[in-house]
Structure 1
Amino acid sequence: MQPPLTRSPLTDSHRKTRKGSLRTSTRNLTGLSLAVTLVLASCGQGTVTNSQGAIPGSQAGSAASFVLDPTHAFVAGQLVVGLQDGRSAQDAARLIGGQVLSELPTLNAAVLSLPSGLPVAKAIRMMASSGQLRYAEPNYLMSTPERLSHTPQNGLDASVSTQAVQDSVLNDPQLGKQWFLNNMGAYKAWETATGKGIRIGVADEDIDRNHPDLKANISFPGFDAPNNKVITADTPYDGSGEHGTWVSGTAAAVGNNGIGGAGVAYQASIVPLTITHDPAGASNVDSSRAFIWAVNGPDGIAPGAAGDTDTPAGHKGFVDIVNYSFGGTGYSQLSKEAIDYVLSKGVVFVTSAGNTPTTGPASPAWTPGAISVAATTPRNVRTDFSNRGAHLSVAAPGQQVWVTAVRKDVTNPNEVNYEYVDGTSFASPATAGAAALILQASATKNPDGSIKAITLTPGQVRHILEDTAFKAGVNYNIDTGNGIVRADAAVLRATQNAAATVEKGVNVSLKFVADSDNTLGIPLVGATLSGGKRPEQLLYAQSAAGDGAFAAGVVSFREIDAGDYQLYASGPRTVLAGGTPGLLGTTLSLAPGRAINATVPLTVTFPTDASEPNDTLATATPIAYGNVKDGVLPSGDVDLFKFAAVQGETAFINTKTVSGAPNTNVQVLDATGKVLAENDNQRSDVLDAALDFPVPASGDYYIRVNDKTGGTPFNAYFVSLSRLVGKESEPNGSATVTGEKFGNIDFSKANPLAIGQALDAAIDPANDVDIYTFTGVAGQNIVADMNAVTTSKPDGVMSLYQAGNPVALSAIDDTNTTDPTVEYSLPANGTYYLVVASYTTTTQASSGPYRVSLNAR
């Protein structure tokens, strides 16, 4: 089965020519037989935007240009979140002290700006513990490739015969340079369909929209996603790139106009969907926003929904086809849900396979239901740069493709320009053009020949392309998928009552629950469907993206093949949710055209609580100063711990999340059960509770812990009990710090910190380093914890050292937001040191008060 896609950065690998590489890690799942309950269902979504295409009350998620994270993997200072029903973007922003940049209500998602100094990875972990989100991920960047020269090789333009050009009804003088049209059977297809009446949304760079070989086919309005504005005939070309013009000409350059050449669908309309103005590339948010707009149109209302004013009569969306030639590695939940939305509304989604080349994961090329296209040469073999894999739908010409190019003077209405280009970026729009011919040919017509109604679903369009493709010796292979697109054969099939006779796709939603409690969702599940149309087909999806144990979502597959599948699923990750993940292998039989909502039980082992039962004062678990106790808070549970204290001392009671997302509330009770102290959040950005308890009289007291959100069996935590004994005394050692690594450490003035004690301290100034020393015993499992008073001030790092050993035994940046916790089993009796500082880089450092505590299990 296919391994889950990793969270490596998205790059614009689909646009690179013969450069780059994709990498991923793999993980095998062992299948266990388990029944699946299927319930028929259907669903729909809508959104509201103003007449200019902007979301009311919000701004664009990114400006026309943006600042990149130093890794260049994503937009700096931004976080994409999927909201739980009933939660607002403002609620999510408050969790991290951020601001709402924009909302995508159709996808129940939002883009947040992060507070200065809060890294994206840490913000994701903070969000995971909130219980308010379905996922959180970076706003990934799809980078713009270097510009390469494109020149014909070995006379490839001569591969179109003179007779073929003469047989064409078009008068475009340079058709002879466009070998791909003849290769795809476009001339024969044009006898029946030219794409007239079909709209292709080109999600790409801006287009030289006044190019004489494009202008007549440009349809307005279009959409400028980075600026959240519509594109009109008066909107100037931004001059930022060439790729959008190349792609547009491949799909639908104007034919029979006496100049240049033609696109595959030479009378189709091009709706410009600009996703970037920045040479660095496009953001994932802007791409997804463009996909939604392509379906809903400028009124922002879903096709057919109340108030929809701009979906053309008889059409399923504002555009009929979306072409997207960007992409890269990694799994983005935002992108997956945006493409699912496109497909769910009946709009075809075509994307390039990638140019790295590899058989590894590529996004969105691996998205189930999308038409993923590899690139071929005039000799009908895969190009040396094209990606491969069992996910491919079809292949199409992608080498030495002669198409429209940005003019040198875009203000000159008579100037033309063309170039040869390479890449799967052009195999994709060639296929999108063929899809336009299919939709026109199969549509019902008005008396004047115009389109009355689009009759095919995205799944049917994909099946026609696959079933009529030229098979180079075998029915399916990982080089060219189901074969090379033949527009003539596809158009012929489309005219043969295709709406009634071509198999429709299936829409599947899988909700994963615990087999012991079907109301309990399983967070972060990966699911693969293997089979369907062919045994080697692999379809992958997740319930959420990222490294946080977000509440369970739904795994969706849109417009996929009917047939028998093996469903493999695994989740949640033990490191996030504790216990042991459930593994599943079972058979699904999917009938054409059905909408399936499946509740899928997984047998999972939950974290265990050795202290149970400890729900009452009488059964409270003993805990002493210097102790750490583990607990789990399933629904409705409370945990009580009993400790002895002396009048005048201050007890510090601290909880930390181990797995899941407990929202702990801590109380101190007296022997009668009276509440003497209480805390439900140690800081506004975390759900862990901690409190100081000045002991009023010597005697026994009780710690009561409960989960304010009600609890789940995944919600594990620990509670520690320390004496607050004062403050650090400077100087207390010194060192240098880079990131989370220490150097030049001087332990000589370390402050003593005994097991069972807590100290108040501060990183001041930002490059300050604090060192604490204690005596430990071999085999002792120590838990050293740091709690910042203010979020990210400091953003703590901590390392554990053994006297005489310059290498850290343990080093950690943080376990919960900005607070590190070191847990370690000591190797020998002797002296040890805790070194504490702020995470420091050339651009980042922070200062502020914190508390350090040292305990043992």
Structure 2
Amino acid sequence: MRKLWTLALLGLLAACNQNAIRPPQNPNPTLASGENLTYVQNEVVVAYQDEAALQEAIRKLGATEIARIPELRAALLRVPGDALKASKALKGLPGLRYAEPHLAMALAPKDDPVVQRRAGGGGLAPLGNPPDQIFDQLPQYALDPRHLNARPAWDRGFFGEGVTVAIIDDPADVTHPDLAANWAGLAYDPVTNTTYTQASTWTAFIQGLGASNIYHGTFVASTVSAAKDGQGIVGLAPRTKFLPVAIFQPNYVGDFYTARGIVWAVNNGAQILNNSWGGLGYGNLVKEAFDYALTNGVVVVASAGNSYKDEVRTPAGYPGIIASAAADGNRNKTNFSTYGRHISSAAPGLDVLLANPTWLGGGYGLISGTSFSGPYTAAAAALVKGACPGATPYQVRRALETTTWEQTFTREKGWGHLNAGNLANLLAQGCSALPQKGSVVRIKVEYQNERGVFTGVLADVILRGQGLRPGDPTDPTPIYWAKTDQNGEAWFYEIAPGTYEIYVAGPDLAVTGGMPEDRGTRVGTIVARPGSSAGQPDFMYVRLLAREP
């Protein structure tokens, strides 16, 4: 069997031991490459089961602990040599779930195809725009009756009030006139583990990073939370609060700090996480951070990517995450949007009008990319959570999918283009009208050969819904993918209930190409029950006749 090569995330478009000595953070880490990875040359992420195992890993590597994420039982270690070699040296160490180099091959989310800034909104007056595109002051086709159809939702009182959305991105502007009223009052730098509570100190932090390269998070935040106040623009969920989490400063801070930012957002009241970034590959720690969010009932939305291809990018491709494709003014998929079977729905992502940060002149600008269809989707999710705070992540996903314009599946737009008016019709029926709850599945893998039985480490596990029709672009049958840890366990949170065929291992798609349905050795089926949970998952034990990897 061949292991799945871990590829660090590409940007679109990443309880402390009080007795440990903390080395200073390195603002300009040395990067290294190997085995299709780019990582911090001398930093290793270790996920441990107990303190003794972590300390043994530190001793074995001659490492120094930099930081921890207690909720994930993960630590960042500085090692004297190459991180890739060091992580391999820990293979099989009792009490460790996994060790991996600190992945850092993420680019700031600046590959969105178009950005045109106009400070102060100059040149963006309504002119010949239809009246139904004016919601505050400036025209916004994305919200009009032919696209997101926002007004019927607002007329029925669905504004996302009481919901907090974390903007996992570069640091968003909390002082912009359309955003200041809806800032949640907290902002986070995961590298230094600093929580900011004053707009002035947060802005000073951004200026210290080189603010001329930082704008993306502000555009994203305004998609969701721009206030409905008669000036500028309005977000789809204009009474939500937003939490900025700076994982691009302006470059990607690495998987460890991204995971720490995700956990911080969950612990500080976020009910929805927006992620307008991603790339090819798989990071164990980042997936575990999103699993932590899903376990806590937090909805996770990710932009599909701007690769023009039918392919699975992460985090959009992780189980339980709502993946958003970008649509144009005709509600068709844009040419640049990534697409595929994993797509949940589509939202406007071409020439949308959003807020430009004040340190770049303020005002507004036109911008394109799945980076903005994603937060429109997060905003639609906020409408659901505002009406039904107890809705689970899967219920929120299906509420959006079953109320689109089309309500039929294609690989290009998932279940179709979001329609907030249709969504409001569902929510008006009460929370009992929401779709059924999702499922949590746990698979444990072992290998057996003539020498005995071995833990199924580094296995690729795929759950493929029964009845899948390979090659049919209208087949909605779900496929989910996860990797096992050093305990041989793979987890799938908030997935669609149903019967799944289980496939383990198979060729690495990152190297060979191909579709997920072409991979793996079929080893049985499992029924995912509605409402199964992390505490009571649907479980299957798998033993393969295979060599130890």
Q: TM above 0.5, one fold?
A: yes
Q: Deviations over 1:283-333 (max 9, x none)?
A: 111111111111122xxxxxxxxxxxxxxxxxxxx1111111121111111
Conserved? CA contact 2:165–2:270, under 8 Å: yes
Using the alignment, how far apart are the partners of 2:333 and 2:127 within structure 1? Answer: 17
Secondary structure of the corresponding residue to residue 436 of structure 1: helix
Q: For residues 5-44 of structure 1, what are the structure 2 equivalents within 5 Å? A: 6-12=5-11, 14-15=12-13
Using the alignment, how far apart are the partners of 2:253 and 2:291 within structure 1? Answer: 20
Q: Is it true that 1:330 corresponds to 2:281 in the alignment?
A: yes
Amino acid at match of 1:523: V
What is the deviation of 1:86?
5.1
| Aligned position for 2:367 | 421
Distance verdict in 2 for CA 1:157–1:368, change over 3 Å: farther
| Aligned position for 1:785 | none
What is the deviation of 1:9?
3.2
2:272 counterpart (316, 321, 325): 321
Amino acid at match of 1:189: A
Distance verdict in 2 for CA 1:75–1:478, change over 3 Å: same
Q: Is it true that 1:466 corresponds to 2:430 in the alignment?
A: no
| Aligned position for 1:589 | 527
Distance verdict in 2 for CA 1:57–1:339, change over 3 Å: farther
Using the alignment, how far apart are the partners of 1:262 and 1:231 within structure 2? Answer: 25
Conserved? CA contact 1:523–1:572, under 8 Å: no
Conserved? CA contact 1:9–1:73, under 8 Å: yes
What is the deviation of 1:258?
2.5
What is the deviation of 1:64?
7.6
Q: Is it true that 1:457 corresponds to 2:429 in the alignment?
A: no
Q: Is it true that 1:78 corresponds to 2:43 in the alignment?
A: yes
Q: For residues 835-846 of structure 1, what are the structure 2 equivalents within 5 Å? A: none
Distance verdict in 2 for CA 1:537–1:286, change over 3 Å: same
Conserved? CA contact 1:11–1:73, under 8 Å: no
Using the alignment, how far apart are the partners of 1:220 and 1:58 within structure 2? Answer: 31
What is the deviation of 1:243?
0.7
Q: Is it true that 1:568 corresponds to 2:503 in the alignment?
A: yes
Distance verdict in 2 for CA 1:244–1:355, change over 3 Å: same
2:100 counterpart (137, 141, 144): 137
Q: Deviations over 1:573-630 (max 9, x none)?
A: 9xxxxxxxx9433222222112324241313245xxxxxxxxxxxxxxxxxxxxxxxx
Using the alignment, how far apart are the partners of 1:61 and 1:400 within structure 2? Answer: 45
2:194 counterpart (222, 229, 237): 229
| Aligned position for 2:267 | 296
Using the alignment, how far apart are the partners of 1:571 and 1:132 within structure 2? Answer: 27
Q: Deviations over 1:434-469 (max 9, x none)?
A: 111111123xxxxxxxxxxx1211110001011111
Secondary structure of the corresponding residue to residue 335 of structure 2: coil
Q: For residues 87-102 of structure 1, what are the structure 2 equivalents within 5 Å? A: 87-102=52-67
Q: Is it true that 1:348 corresponds to 2:319 in the alignment?
A: no
Q: For residues 369-518 of structure 1, what are the structure 2 equivalents within 5 Å? A: 369-408=320-359, 416-442=362-388, 454-471=389-406, 475-499=408-432, 501-513=434-446
Amino acid at match of 1:352: S
Q: Deviations over 1:157-198 (max 9, x none)?
A: 9899624246xxx5x211x24434541011111112111111
1:107 counterpart (72, 87, 97): 72
Conserved? CA contact 2:7–2:280, under 8 Å: yes
Amino acid at match of 1:539: Y
Structure 1: any 5+ residue segments left out of the alignment?
Answer: 16-47, 50-54, 298-317, 410-414, 443-453, 545-550, 574-581, 607-658, 661-857
Using the alignment, how far apart are the partners of 1:60 and 1:190 within structure 2? Answer: 49
What is the deviation of 1:123?
1.1
What is the deviation of 1:490?
1.5
| Aligned position for 1:276 | 248
TM-score, length basis structure 2: 0.84
Conserved? CA contact 1:524–1:552, under 8 Å: no
Q: For residues 593-742 of structure 1, what are the structure 2 equivalents within 5 Å? A: 593-595=531-533, 596-605=537-546
Using the alignment, how far apart are the partners of 2:38 and 2:21 within structure 1? Answer: 23
Conserved? CA contact 1:89–1:100, under 8 Å: no
* Larger proportion of strand: 1
Distance verdict in 2 for CA 1:332–1:62, change over 3 Å: farther
Tell me which of the two structures has the higher relative contact order, counting C-alpha pairs closer than 8 angstroms and 6 or more residues apart: 2
Q: Is it true that 1:207 corresponds to 2:153 in the alignment?
A: no
2:142 counterpart (179, 192, 206): 179
| Aligned position for 1:521 | 455
Conserved? CA contact 2:445–2:541, under 8 Å: yes
What is the deviation of 1:146?
5.1
Secondary structure of the corresponding residue to residue 236 of structure 1: helix
Which deviates more from structure 2 when the two are superposed, residues 192-201 or residues 74-83? 74-83
Secondary structure of the corresponding residue to residue 529 of structure 1: strand
When the two structures are aligned, how many residues end up with a matched partner? 505
Conserved? CA contact 1:157–1:179, under 8 Å: no
Amino acid at match of 2:258: S
Using the alignment, how far apart are the partners of 2:507 and 2:325 within structure 1? Answer: 34
What is the deviation of 1:571?
8.1
Q: How large is the Cα RMSD of the aligned pairs?
A: 3.0
Using the alignment, how far apart are the partners of 1:5 and 1:373 within structure 2? Answer: 25
Using the alignment, how far apart are the partners of 1:438 and 1:543 within structure 2? Answer: 33
Distance verdict in 2 for CA 1:339–1:332, change over 3 Å: same
Using the alignment, how far apart are the partners of 2:140 and 2:24 within structure 1? Answer: 40
| Aligned position for 1:797 | none
Using the alignment, how far apart are the partners of 1:138 and 1:70 within structure 2? Answer: 10
Secondary structure of the corresponding residue to residue 356 of structure 1: coil
What is the deviation of 1:4?
8.2
Secondary structure of the corresponding residue to residue 189 of structure 1: helix
Secondary structure of the corresponding residue to residue 359 of structure 1: coil
Using the alignment, how far apart are the partners of 1:387 and 1:191 within structure 2? Answer: 33
Distance verdict in 2 for CA 1:145–1:562, change over 3 Å: closer
Secondary structure of the corresponding residue to residue 434 of structure 1: helix
What is the deviation of 1:262?
0.5
Conserved? CA contact 1:60–1:225, under 8 Å: no
Conserved? CA contact 1:276–1:282, under 8 Å: yes
What is the deviation of 1:401?
1.1
What is the deviation of 1:56?
4.9
Amino acid at match of 1:267: R
Distance verdict in 2 for CA 1:324–1:518, change over 3 Å: farther
Q: Is it true that 1:162 corresponds to 2:130 in the alignment?
A: yes
Distance verdict in 2 for CA 1:67–1:194, change over 3 Å: same
Conserved? CA contact 2:169–2:248, under 8 Å: yes
Q: For residues 545-556 of structure 1, what are the structure 2 equivalents within 5 Å? A: 551-556=486-491
Conserved? CA contact 2:445–2:544, under 8 Å: no
Using the alignment, how far apart are the partners of 2:405 and 2:24 within structure 1? Answer: 43
2:218 counterpart (245, 259, 263): 245
Conserved? CA contact 1:321–1:350, under 8 Å: yes
Distance verdict in 2 for CA 1:597–1:323, change over 3 Å: same
Q: Is it true that 1:188 corresponds to 2:188 in the alignment?
A: no
Using the alignment, how far apart are the partners of 1:125 and 1:461 within structure 2? Answer: 40
Amino acid at match of 1:512: V
1:124 counterpart (57, 62, 87): 87
TM-score, length basis structure 1: 0.55
Identity of aligned residues (%): 30
Q: Which has the larger radius of gyration?
A: 1
Using the alignment, how far apart are the partners of 1:99 and 1:131 within structure 2? Answer: 20
What is the deviation of 1:357?
2.3
| Aligned position for 1:365 | 316
| Aligned position for 1:680 | none
Amino acid at match of 1:585: V
Distance verdict in 2 for CA 1:395–1:6, change over 3 Å: farther
Conserved? CA contact 1:377–1:397, under 8 Å: yes
* Larger proportion of helix: 2
Conserved? CA contact 1:531–1:538, under 8 Å: yes
Q: Is it true that 1:66 corresponds to 2:28 in the alignment?
A: yes
Amino acid at match of 1:69: L
1:265 counterpart (232, 237, 251): 237
